[in-house]
Amino acid sequence: MAPPAAPRRQIADGIRDSFSAGLGIFPLGIALGLLITQAGLPWWLAPALSLAAFAGSLELLLVGMLATVTPLAAVALTVLVVNFRHVFYAFSFPLHLVRHPVAKAYAVYAMIDEVYAVNASLPEAERSARRLLALQIACETYWVGGGLIGVGLGALLPAPIKGLEFALCALFTVLTLDAVRSRGEIPSVLLAVASVAIALVLTPDLALLTALLLFAGLLLVRHALTARRPGTESADA
């Protein structure tokens, strides 16, 4: 039986897990708030976007599309292409740990790239519903809080600031390197690089979607080959 302090410790572990991702999420939220202010959009759009569509890369794109009054069909297609990767996240995301229907709905809603990457680096035995939800709530707090601070800074600064959106690329790079270092998944990295290269050559306009589909297919092939190997070895023995 788990000690009484176990649930509290799981929540603390989840918050601690969020620190590495929060180093990128918080400044990215500030960048979102600044972009909204500099685009001449109302300040409340920062928390509204953060709560309605909790996805950093998508929200940064939506700011520009809203500022230029992009047609709704183009916005819908962009949302589909950019967030299509979350379909593949669901295959290995530990939603089965979350039992309460409301909590499970929130876990699905807050299944962002950073949460997936941090959770994927954890050993299976250390995962829990409380730890996962604490990680997700902390990450959303960083994002919403950063956006509000960015709106405030944007109203005070006399000139626009460029380059803060690079925090998104830097964050994904750090999370990828951390996952590779902790799990030693060099073959997966090579498959991902190959998928991106092929997608950029064959379908440059839909490179993200093509790369995700190709990478998922290659991972399935690798899994099938790896799963078959122990049986083959035992049969030869």
| pLDDT confidence bin for 92, thresholds 50/70/90 | confident
Q: Is 224 exposed, middle or buried (0-12, 13-18, 19+ CB in 10 A)?
A: exposed
- Tell me 159's DSSP state: S
pLDDT tens readout for residues 187-227:
878 888 898 899 899 888 777 668 877 887 888 888 788 77
Q: Which two tokens stand for residue 182?
A: 């902790």
What pLDDT is attached to residue 235? 41
pTM of the model: 0.67
Residue partners of 174: CB distance under 8 A and separation at least 6? 20, 23, 24
Average the pLDDT over 5-27 and give the result.
Answer: 85
pLDDT tens readout for residues 46-76:
888 888 878 766 777 777 777 777 788 777 7
What pLDDT is attached to residue 222? 83
pLDDT tens readout for residues 154-193:
888 776 666 655 655 666 676 677 667 766 667 878 888 8
Q: Which two tokens stand for residue 234?
A: 């035992």
The rounded distance, in Å, linking the Cα atoms of 147 and 46 is: 6
- Tell me 185's DSSP state: -
Alpha helices in the chain (DSSP H): 6-38, 45-52, 56-67, 72-83, 85-92, 101-109, 113-120, 129-156, 166-183, 186-202, 207-236
What pLDDT is attached to residue 172? 66
The answer to whether residues 15 and 135 touch, using CB atoms and an 8 Å cutoff, is: yes
